[in-house]
Structure 1
Amino acid sequence: MFATLPLLSLKATAATLSNGIQYGTNGSLTVPPFWLAIPFILLLLMIATGPLFFPTFWHKHYPKVAILLATFVMVYYCTVLENKLKPVEAAAEYVQFMALITALYMATGGIAIKVHRRVTPFINIILLFTGGLFANLIGTTGASMLFIRPYLGLNRGRIKVYHIVFFIFIVSNIGGALTPIGDPPLFLGFLKGVPFAWTLMHNSLPWLMALVLLLSIFYFFERSNKAVPTDAPCAGIVSIAGSKNFIWLVLIIGAVFLDPTICTWLPTIDYHGHPISFVRELIMLTIATLAFYTANKQVLLSNGFSLAPLNEVCLIFIGIFGTMIPALELIGSFAASEVGKQLITPTTLYWGTGFFSSVLDNAPTYLNFVAASMAAQGGSIEQLADVQAYAAGGIYPDSVTKLSAIALASVFFGAMTYIGNGPNFMVKAIAEQAGVTMPPFGRYIFRFSMPILLPILFMIWVFFFAL
């Protein structure tokens, strides 16, 4: 779901047994009760209904609500379940998430890309497709932060809600399905042993099909937009100010690969036998600070740069990261159970991964479903040779199809909701700051995701996973 690199160095202390029940290192039962998922459901409902039905209360008190619900869940884990590792893991993942989001937001905030042409549907299509391609090079978060402002500027005077929605669909989510850099779950698969080029080889056709369909639909929306842009056409095509910030952007992407499980030379702190290192996050936050203070102030001003969108994401996701712990554990427990294993097919993996990636962190969802899929066929996600064999196919029946279903669903379905992927909420906040009245959580789903995106996701399933 989020544009984050989950805590790869912290393994779950709970060992998943053949019956799907998890026990901590001290032998105590660690699977949370089902009712402990209520705070997460409650938070989702409030995010969906708050801005619509009680906007004054929500905008004033949402930080308190998010922090209170997260605190309740984490205290319950520490005191009742006696499982302190899960809250520590969630907190560490949150720090990683915010470090990456903050660094990319600060670095791209100092870059002003302007397209000096009168906007046409074709120009918008080129920009969206370019953003989707760049998502594979700098991640969906990086591409979203880099392209959203020139996209808003290009459409000044005619910007509509659908412009932002299709940007979220294409640049913030589906575009990043071709490389491990594109989206965190794919990067996790790469670190576990899936070859770097695997996603490009096996995801290209569904990726192209989804983008062509989305851009075709976008074209019909554009043709009906008769609003005249305020800017007159210019002779130039593209100008870039603050290009030195691309150096910071490259350094951030490079820092993504500094994981202690891969770079064993990194200084770490041992926590229950697992190495923890925040060197990557410290580097990212340092880059964020340097990017902000060295940025051209005129560029920041022209971008309408503000910390308000970053602050909103920071506070909302405290609640999401804290309350989703039991939901993820319950999913993992069921997926590892005998009943769960019997239900594993490309179809159930596609829709199951997709549904939970829409509302939960898509990275651990990806790992849970891959682990369950491999375990059902006698493999282990912790064994490099098993993962490589699973990705290659041959030894494990339908393994390539199953892995592709999980990978695509974890990326594509992130566009179904505002919280399905980290950049979604950030793009929404930036658009609202620019004066676009974005639909609330539920209306986004029922007006755009379900009638436009869901049929395309269904077609992807029919063409690639239904048979």
Structure 2
Amino acid sequence: MLVWAGPAGAAEAVDPASLGLLWGLPFAGLLLSIALMPLLAGHIWHHHYGKIAAGWALLLMLPFAAAFGLAPMAAEIWHVLLQEYIPFIALLLALYTTGGGVLLKGTLVGTPATNTALLAVGTLAASVMGTTGASMVLIRPLIRANAFRRRKTHSFVFFIFLVSNIGGSLTPLGDPPLYLGFLKGVSFFWTTTHMFSEFLFCAVLLLGLYWLLDSWLWAREQPRAPVVAARQPLAIEGWPNLALIACIVAVVLAQGFWQPGEVAVFGDRIGAERLLAILAFLGITVVSMRVTPPRLREANGFAWGAMAEVAKLFAAIFICMAPVLAILKAGPAGAAAGLVGLTSTAAGEPIPWVYFWLTGGLSSFLDNAPTYLVFFNLASGDAVALMGQGALTLAAVSCGAVFMGANSYIGNAPNFMVKAIVEEQGVRMPSFFGYCVWALAILVPLFVLVTLVFFR
């Protein structure tokens, strides 16, 4: 593929306006496999999910090569891998490794008050160290604190809602969509000032609802807390990994300020700062493995299975969703013109609540970062204008991408990672559709309220 993805392939880029909706079928098939196969053929899925995901990717790549040529196919796939997947997986690997090297010690008993406090801390931390970083650091303490409880799945579902998604609303460091906006010219603290009310509204309601639910389940279960000889004070072990997480945040932030130009890699061009960031993330991963004592990772329940699952499935997801995103990027000229047309009035004025729901609805199943970029550009793509007169529209796009990434396991990378880590520790999580039912019951009514209060 790399041999074919040269200048010739790049020169023959496929026009997104020429793509029909049928090119989205492999992506739909992959989603249905992720949703149904663990329920209908769990043994086959858990042993062969990588092969099944690769099969759906091939069902896109082979017809694409037949329709447009081998060189354009190779160029398109390499573009997706270089621009989207490799930077994504390198960052995720670094955060997964460093987060797994931070151990919160001490006596943590999963009472409603303790669990709510952990979720609140994670929600606030997510805007500083990113939703992935906060999720990787705090999910294991939450698992250990609730190990003695029978009813605990709801805690991990709300963890995904709050820490893995809504918590990343306040800075470009919080979630990839906001970081893309920062790279496009949105000022660093714009999201802090313009999304704080929406963030606080969602966080307070979800934390309050969680406390009520957990208190009710605690009373029904009447769990017997583990007996400890003496309560140990809370302490953090693995400080070098916290320093490495700070380095990751610094590398992410530096890409917005230092952009020396592009370099060609097998016929496609990528910013030199992004290439160096990938190398930095890999270097940080190696350093983390060397400086972290094996006993600490063992105490944390650290294993590579969750990372391998995310890496394999998201490779296929990024490839299969590429034509769907291309169709959206084509705007009024593409096969999704009817959908795109809903975003504006007859006079051409943007409709913020439509931007909120379209960006959010698609972010629930597509990667929320490129989905944000599609609607950011559709709303004009001019950061200065959007921060001023178009502030409500930009807030709607930003909230939709960040908040509604929580609607499914694949809406945001940490969602699936948290699911995999929890299941790796022997705790059963809802199925794909089961989780979506949680989202429909809790998040969708919340987002209706957000629409009525902020975007009507």
TM over 0.5: yes
Confirm or deny: 8 A CA contact 2:99 2:133 kept in the other structure.
yes
Alignment of 1:44-123 (within 5 A): 44-78=31-65, 80-82=67-69, 83=72, 84-92=74-82, 93-123=84-114
User: Residue 405 of structure 1 aligns to a residue in which SS?
Assistant: helix
In 2, Cα distance between the equivalents of 1:432 and 1:111? 20
The partner residue of 2:162 within 159, 162, 170 is 170
Confirm or deny: 8 A CA contact 2:260 2:271 kept in the other structure.
no
Confirm or deny: 8 A CA contact 1:116 1:239 kept in the other structure.
no
Count of aligned residue pairs for this structure pair: 427
Q: Identity of paired residues, percent?
A: 35
- Would the alpha carbon gap of residues 275 and 303 (structure 1) be closer, same or farther in structure 2, given more than 3 Å must change? closer
1:108 Cα deviation after fit? 1.2
CA RMSD in angstroms comes to 2.2
Superposed CA offset, 1:178-227 (max 9, x none): 10000001001011111111101111111011011111111122112222
1:257 Cα deviation after fit? 3.3
User: Residue 269 of structure 1 aligns to a residue in which SS?
Assistant: strand
1:55 Cα deviation after fit? 0.8
User: Residue 303 of structure 2 aligns to a residue in which SS?
Assistant: coil
1:27 Cα deviation after fit? 8.2
In 2, Cα distance between the equivalents of 1:186 and 1:269? 26
The partner residue of 2:454 within 446, 453, 464 is 464
In 2, Cα distance between the equivalents of 1:192 and 1:79? 36
User: Are positions 1:238 and 2:203 aligned together?
Assistant: no
In 1, Cα distance between the equivalents of 2:229 and 2:128? 31
AA aligned opposite 2:259: T
1:274 Cα deviation after fit? 3.8
Gaps of 5+ in 2: 1-6, 345-350
Superposed CA offset, 1:380-399 (max 9, x none): x2xxxx31122122xxxxx1
Compute the TM-score of the two structures, normalised by the length of structure 2: 0.88
Confirm or deny: 8 A CA contact 1:156 1:229 kept in the other structure.
no
1:241 Cα deviation after fit? 1.0
User: Residue 113 of structure 1 aligns to a residue in which SS?
Assistant: strand
User: Are positions 1:330 and 2:327 aligned together?
Assistant: yes
Alignment of 1:374-393 (within 5 A): 374=380, 381=381, 386-393=382-389
User: Are positions 1:361 and 2:356 aligned together?
Assistant: no
User: Are positions 1:350 and 2:360 aligned together?
Assistant: no
The partner residue of 1:440 within 427, 431, 444 is 431
User: Residue 330 of structure 2 aligns to a residue in which SS?
Assistant: helix
Confirm or deny: 8 A CA contact 1:346 1:402 kept in the other structure.
yes
User: Residue 80 of structure 1 aligns to a residue in which SS?
Assistant: helix
Confirm or deny: 8 A CA contact 2:331 2:378 kept in the other structure.
no
1:256 Cα deviation after fit? 1.6
The partner residue of 2:253 within 257, 271, 276 is 257
Name the structure 2 match of 1:204.
Answer: 196
In 1, Cα distance between the equivalents of 2:268 and 2:419? 40
Q: Whose helix fraction is larger, Structure 1's or Structure 2's?
A: 2
- Would the alpha carbon gap of residues 326 and 133 (structure 1) be closer, same or farther in structure 2, given more than 3 Å must change? same
Superposed CA offset, 1:147-180 (max 9, x none): 0011111222016110110100000000001100
Name the structure 2 match of 1:305.
Answer: 302
Confirm or deny: 8 A CA contact 1:111 1:242 kept in the other structure.
yes
Gaps of 5+ in 1: 1-12, 14-23, 375-380, 394-398
Alignment of 1:272-291 (within 5 A): 274-277=269-272, 278-291=275-288
- Would the alpha carbon gap of residues 367 and 267 (structure 1) be closer, same or farther in structure 2, given more than 3 Å must change? closer
- Would the alpha carbon gap of residues 335 and 141 (structure 1) be closer, same or farther in structure 2, given more than 3 Å must change? farther
AA aligned opposite 2:78: V
1:449 Cα deviation after fit? 0.8
